[in-house]
A = this chain, B = another copy of it.
Amino acid sequence: VKSNSLIKEDECLDDLQLNGLMIIQKKKAFKFGIDAVLVANFASSKENDIVCDFGTGTGVIPLIFSAKNKFKKIYAFEIQTDIANLAKRNFEYNKLQEKIELVNLDIKNVVDYVGKSSVDVIISNPPYFKTGGAIVNENDYKAISRHEIKIDLEGLIRSGNEILKPNGSFYMIHRPDRLVDIMYYFRKYFIEPKLIQFVQPKAGKVPNLVIIKAVKNGKNELKYLPNLVVYNEDNTFTKEIDIIYGREG
């Protein structure tokens, strides 16, 4: 069932190869990467859970997550109106608009929308880079997705603390060089890191991504999953990555 009216001229339609899900993306903007897929797979929810995606972009995390989990509702927050509109069309295209609600809102204000201590699960693939002194275009989608222009890591975690229920989970993927920031702010805002997995491009290499599950008011004890290796020595994907991408057989 192709609804071409939902797709604009500068956009393309890609197959997520998961339960028949399709995703509209900008031809020229950067497309979703392995990080969104990894955190969407790492996260989980239960039947009556309220789930939030902080900075949903084109909506790829809720799309993948919804195919693999039971939940009551997903609120997908996106501050940029253009891309929020695209995410909304993605949920409509896949007939998921009843279960996944796009909310065009600043993450700093999510508590006004969902209410205090009301959310079971937060997922986020946030901007990885500090703005530092670099000049960035404040209206550039790619820049806003990659740099902490609209919100920084502390703001993201502070908002998470406001809306999470006690024992609610915050799943985040980020760059390993920010790990001290991540742990410091989670602890500061009472969301305790409980499970961590480093992702490395090949065996014997240093990690280039880290996935964390943190739990509101959780006990202080961090557990580890074995590092996830993306490529074999011959540059094919490892078995573990094939399983995540649904190519296991």
A190 CB → nearest B CB, Å = 12
The 8 Å CB contact of A187, one of B180, B192, B193, is: B180
- Residues of B within 8 Å of A193, CB to CB, are 179-180
Please state if A223 and B177 are interface contacts (CB–CB under 8 Å): yes
Please state if A207 and B181 are interface contacts (CB–CB under 8 Å): no
A42 CB → nearest B CB, Å = 16
Judge if A28 is at the interface, Cβ distance under 8 Å.
Answer: no
The 8 Å CB contact of A205, one of B203, B204, B220, B226, is: B226
A49 CB → nearest B CB, Å = 25
Please state if B224 and A206 are interface contacts (CB–CB under 8 Å): yes
- Residues of B within 8 Å of A220, CB to CB, are 180-181
- Residues of B within 8 Å of A65, CB to CB, are none
Write the chain B residue with the least CB distance to A205: B226
Please state if A180 and B222 are interface contacts (CB–CB under 8 Å): yes
Chain A 189-206 residues near chain B, CB threshold 8 A? 192-193, 196, 203-206
Judge if A176 is at the interface, Cβ distance under 8 Å.
Answer: yes
Judge if A232 is at the interface, Cβ distance under 8 Å.
Answer: no
Please state if A179 and B225 are interface contacts (CB–CB under 8 Å): no
For the complex, what is the distance from the CA of A117 to the CA of B224, rounded to whole Å?
36
Judge if A227 is at the interface, Cβ distance under 8 Å.
Answer: yes
Write the chain B residue with the least CB distance to A206: B224
Please state if B180 and A180 are interface contacts (CB–CB under 8 Å): no
The 8 Å CB contact of A176, one of B179, B205, B206, B222, is: B222
- Residues of B within 8 Å of A178, CB to CB, are 222
A182 CB → nearest B CB, Å = 9
Judge if A186 is at the interface, Cβ distance under 8 Å.
Answer: yes
- Residues of B within 8 Å of A226, CB to CB, are 204-206
- Residues of B within 8 Å of A224, CB to CB, are 176, 206-207
11 inter-chain pairs at a CB distance below 8 angstroms, sorted by A residue, are A176-B222, A177-B222, A178-B222, A180-B193, A180-B220, A184-B187, A184-B188, A203-B203, A204-B226, A206-B223, A206-B224
Which residues of A come within 8 Å of B, CB atoms?
A: 176-181, 183-184, 186-188, 192-193, 196, 203-207, 220-227
Instruction: Report, nearest first, the 3 A-B pairs whose CB atoms are least far apart.
Output: A206-B224, A183-B183, A184-B187
